[in-house]
Structure 1
Amino acid sequence: MTAKLEHTNLTVSDPDATAAWMGDVFGWKIRWSGPAIDEGYSVHVGGPGDYLALYRPRSAPHAGESSYGLIGGLNHLGVIVDDLDAAEARVKAAGFTPHNYADYKPGRRFYFRDADGIEFELVQYDD
């Protein structure tokens, strides 16, 4: 049996704004939006076979500390891109600051945090 990740659900402060920058940076499309669990609101953004569910609860969410010390914490999301330099330019245009650059076998990468403090790793693999 082979399994494939279909989606991940993240709590964010503004699902529409997060989906907008993801569209600009990653080229993802909104697949669905509407009411969600516990009177919240969600936007599903991604491609035809996988996506991120961006959830906002009824009450305003609050930011936490680094998740690296929490059991069950989300440490970062990795996204493969075809052109890391072009992706970096789009990340900067969206107002985010790239950091922690590295070249390694089999590719190159950098990280950035979005407005909610969620860390993303962008990676371009060598063929």
Structure 2
Amino acid sequence: MAELKHLNITVKDTAATAEMLCDLFGWKIRWEGASIFDGHSVHVGSPTTYLALYSPPTDTDTAAESYHRRAGLNHVGITVDDLDATEAKVKGHGYVPNSHQNYEPGRRFYFDDENGIEFEVVSYS
């Protein structure tokens, strides 16, 4: 069976987004460096999966090429052990949790970051 290795997302500031994700989810920076189109990438996540964060040399929200466009996806789903503690961290970063749902088999909420990326945070505990 195949497994998802990573998602590559264009963001305005790779360092700021990586710092936020590390703080909220306990992730680590796996790699950082120069990348395609003279941009910069940071790989942040767990030992087995990660988000590849990419920033082009100039901020171009309306570009047709996906590497020059922010938020070209619906949402990123993250599983956590303690939903309430993670929600408190999300609020501490100034994000507004929304769409809380209790469903079988877990609980979840969503929030949007400054890049326009929606995150779904879910716990099955």
Cα distance in 1 for partners of 2:59, 2:108 equals 33
Which region of structure 1 is more displaced relative to structure 2, 11-20 or 54-63? 54-63
Kindly tell me the number of residue pairs found equivalent between the two proteins.
117
| SS of residue matched to 2:91 | helix
Which region of structure 1 is more displaced relative to structure 2, 97-106 or 55-64? 55-64
- 1:51-90 alignment, distance < 5 Å: 51-62=50-61, 73-90=72-89
1:46 aligns with 2:48: no
- How far residue 62 of structure 1 moved from its aligned partner, in angstroms, is 1.8
Q: Which runs of 5+ in 1 are unaligned?
A: 65-72
Cα RMSD after superposing both structures: 1.3
Which residue of structure 2 lines up, in the alignment, with residue 19 of structure 1?
Answer: 18
Which residue of structure 2 lines up, in the alignment, with residue 111 of structure 1?
Answer: 110
Q: How big is each residue's C-alpha offset from its partner over 1:3-43, in whole Å with a ceiling of 9 and x where there is no partner?
A: 11000000000000000000110000001111000100000
Q: Residues 43 and 36 from structure 1, CA distance in 2 versus in 1: closer, same or farther, beyond 3 angstroms?
A: same
- How far residue 63 of structure 1 moved from its aligned partner, in angstroms, is 6.8
Q: Residues 63 and 123 from structure 1, CA distance in 2 versus in 1: closer, same or farther, beyond 3 angstroms?
A: farther
The ranges of structure 1 where at least 4 consecutive aligned residues each deviate by more than 2 angstroms after the TM superposition are: none
TM-score, length of structure 1 as denominator length: 0.88
TM-score, length of structure 2 as denominator length: 0.90
Which residue of structure 2 lines up, in the alignment, with residue 4 of structure 1?
Answer: 3
Verify the 8 A CA contact 1:13 1:61 in the aligned structure 2. no
